[in-house]
Chains A and B, each alone.
Chain A
Amino acid sequence: MSLDNYLYLSAILFTIGAVGVVVRRNAIVVFMCIELMLNAANLSLVTFSRINGTLDGQVVAFFTMVVAACEVVVGLAIIVTIYRSRRSASIDDASLLKR
């Protein structure tokens, strides 16, 4: 088995996450799909770290995890705030700026 297989898996997971962001309507599921994309990117970082024989890729993956945690905290707080005022977690309903 070649190490490329991990990169293929990472590309496939990233693509599935991107489709989920576009297709699903529940804001929380959209956030979960973004998490999936970040995780897929992390997998490729770890694989490249192994290919290059240095730990730099793993350090960057560690930073990505911290950024993902920040994003979840702020994003979920926004979802809760929108839900409190509009009683809905659907991203189609939060289109006030359009009208």
Chain B
Amino acid sequence: MEPLLTIQTPETVLFWFLAPLSVLASLGMLLVKKAVHSALLLAWVMVTLAIFYIAQGALFLGIVQVVVYTGAVMMLFLFILMLVGVDSSDSLTETITGLRPIAITAAVGFGGLMVSLLGRATLGREPVGLDAANGPGNVQGLAALLFSKYVWPFEVISALLITAAVGAMVLAHHQRTTPRPTQREQSVNRFRSDSLAGAAGLPGPGVFARHNAVDVPALLPDGTPAPSSISATLKARGDVIDSAQFQLDNVDTSVEEEK
């Protein structure tokens, strides 16, 4: 009897080219240190899966995979990574003793079980292939199923989507416990604080006209640098230049013409 489905050579080549790459990328996801690299490797795995979907006759799902997963979901992941900070808890050290050997043993056992199960199981018939089902078109076939047989799950899942959106809004909402201080209150507080030094605003950075970069502290009248003239972020990063080198005393006086 003629088999219903024969797999063409291009698909075989495609599979043996992309499947090892996707397995390597997903292994790399576990092994790389930075979460951003994990995200990029996962995006690659998702693209290879999209190619597999299209190769298997699931045209619509392949396109949706690219648009939804590599487009929206991975973008969301990268957005949250940037929001939370790239270097958060990226270390690969083992915090629970013995967790890693147990996890790997269990994984090898589970994977071996699945693979041997698949190797032994038979359907008792030949694979059919999607040529008949995709006859009027893959999208048309899916739509016909979605709006007839699966219309109730479709409605339920739309309710799930709306609930998830509302849940994310509730979780992300941040309620102020105290009212925001008005400009007038801030001004009154500046003048009633311990010293009047900051009442007129903090000094700007830069040393006279010699150097006005934001990372150079301003000089006070007695010649000492003013630390409050530098942004706290620059101070925390240690990106502050010593302003003494720009003092007027250090002008090279040997050239008479310039004076």
Q: Give the most central of A24, A39, A55: most B CB within 10 Å.
A: A55
Set of chain A residues within 8 Å of B235, measured between Cβ atoms: none
**1/0 contact string of A22-47 vs chain B (CB within 8 Å):** 11111111011101100100110011
Q: Are B99 and A22 in contact (CB under 8 A)?
A: yes
- Chain A residues within an 8 Å CB radius of B130: 49-50, 53, 55
Q: Is residue A96 within 8 Å, beta carbon to beta carbon, of the partner chain?
A: no
A58 adjacent to B84 (CB under 8 Å)? no
The answer for the CA separation of A77 and B141 in the assembled complex, in Å, is 36
Which of B118, B138, B161 is within 8 Å of A7, CB to CB?
A: B118
Task: Please report whether the interface of chain A is mostly helix, strand, loop or mixed according to DSSP.
Answer: helix
Query: Hey, which chain A residues are within 8 Å of B128, CB to CB?
Result: 50-53
* B171–A72 touching, CB < 8 Å: no
Binding site for A on B (CB under 8 A): 4-5, 7, 11-12, 15-16, 19, 22-23, 26-27, 29-30, 35, 38-39, 42, 45-46, 49, 52-53, 56-58, 60-61, 64-65, 68-69, 72-73, 76-77, 80-81, 83-85, 88-91, 95, 99-100, 103-104, 107, 110-111, 114-115, 118-119, 123, 127-130, 132-134, 138, 141-142, 145-146, 149-150, 153-154, 157, 160-161, 163-165, 167-168, 171-172, 174
Given contacts A13-B23, A27-B89, A55-B133, 20 further A-B contacts (CB under 8 A): A3-B5, A11-B115, A11-B118, A15-B107, A19-B104, A26-B89, A29-B35, A39-B45, A46-B61, A50-B5, A51-B127, A53-B128, A55-B134, A58-B142, A65-B65, A66-B160, A70-B163, A77-B172, A88-B88, A89-B84
Chain A interface (Cβ within 8 Å of chain B)? 1-9, 11-20, 22-29, 31-33, 35-36, 39, 42-43, 46-47, 49-56, 58-59, 61-63, 65-74, 76-81, 83-84, 88-90, 92-93
